[in-house]
Amino acid sequence: MLTAIITLLVIAVIFGLILGFAAVRFKVESDPVVDEIDKLLPQTQCGQCTYPGCRPYAEAIANGEAEINQCPPGGEPTIIALADLLGRDPLPLNPEHGEVKEEKTVVIIDEEICIGCTLCIQACPVDAIVGAAKQMHTVIIDNCTGCDLCIPPCPVDCIYIVPEKKSASNWQWPNPAEIEKTASDPEGSS
């Protein structure tokens, strides 16, 4: 009887130690679900979902506070990916939050007009605008996510939305299914 109790106690202590060690050693800093959701979001940090950035939106989804259809930059593919991840039904994009852009855009600053007020720099969520007070500002195109948050604060309206540049290295072949739909000549061989 006594031996049994002691044995069980010893085993309990050993497992307790192992679990305690594992809890410290393999501690997961943040909620993994939030991380997973955040990974699927487009990271434009545009705030169209009404949350201040993609991560807060991911947290809201994880807590059940927000629906999965509030992200216009992600559009349908993001909604489907989120539905897959969370085991929910896909929903159509909520039009309250905006529409899907036809093509990807970035912004450029008209440097002739810019007065160097720094308001756009403060608005940019990804620090993609460089410049200093009373100095010309410019957009680092490679880092611009096309969130358009810099446009409302600009006092002189010198920021324009332009489509993302296509080059030979990021060019895509057209979808033949769409060509068929428009019933035009399918690309290619004789």
Partner 1 sequence: MSHSNRKTFNFHGGLHLDEHKSISTSRPIETAPIPPLLILPLLQHIGNPAIPCVKVGENVLKNQCIANADGPVSTTLHASSSGTVTAIEKRSIPHPSNLDVMCIVIETDGRDTSIEQSHASTEEYLSLSRHDIQQRIKEAGIVGLGGAGFPSHIKLNANKHLVETLIINAAECEPYISCDDMLIREHAESIINGLRIMQHALNAKHCMIGIEDNKVEAHAALQAAINGSDDIELVRVPTRYPAGGERQLIYNLTGKQAPSQGRPLDIGIVCHNAGTAAAVDDAITRGIPLTSRVVTLTGSGIPQPRNMHVRIGTPIQYLLDHCHSPKEDIANILIGGPMMGFKLNSADAPVTKTCNCILATLQRDAIKPSTPMPCIRCGDCVEVCPVNLLPQQLYWHAHAQDFDAIQDYNLFDCIECGCCDVVCPSRIPLVQYFRFSKTTIWQQERDKEKSNKARQRHELRLERLEQEKREKRERHNRKKAALKKKPEQSDDPKKAAILAAMKRVQDKKLASNTNPANTDNLTPEQQAKVDEADRRRKEQNADTKPS
Sites of contact with partner 1 (CB under 8 A): 38, 41-45, 53-55, 125-128, 143, 145, 166-168, 170-177, 179-180, 183, 185-190
Q: Which is nearer to partner 1, 4 or 185 (CB)?
A: 185
3-state secondary structure of 178: helix
Least Å distance, CB 78 to partner 1, is 11
Q: Which is nearer to partner 1, 83 or 115 (CB)?
A: 83
Distances (CA, A) of 19 to 6, 15, 25, 29, 148: 20, 6, 10, 17, 48
3-state secondary structure of 68: coil
Least Å distance, CB 22 to partner 1, is 28
Among 92, 97, 57, 89, residue whose Cα is nearest residue 73: 97
Q: Which is nearer to partner 1, 38 or 59 (CB)?
A: 38
Least Å distance, CB 9 to partner 1, is 47
Rounding to the nearest 10 degrees, give the CA dihedral for residues 147, 152, 154, 158: 70
Least Å distance, CB 45 to partner 1, is 5
Least Å distance, CB 43 to partner 1, is 4
Q: Which residue pairs from 65-68 have beta carbons closer than 8 angstroms and sit at least 24 positions apart in sequence?
A: 67/91, 67/94
Q: Which residues of 95-114 are buried (b: 16+ CB within 10 A; e: fewer)?
A: eebbeeeeeebbbebeeeeb
Q: Which is nearer to partner 1, 3 or 172 (CB)?
A: 172
Q: Which is nearer to partner 1, 88 or 166 (CB)?
A: 166
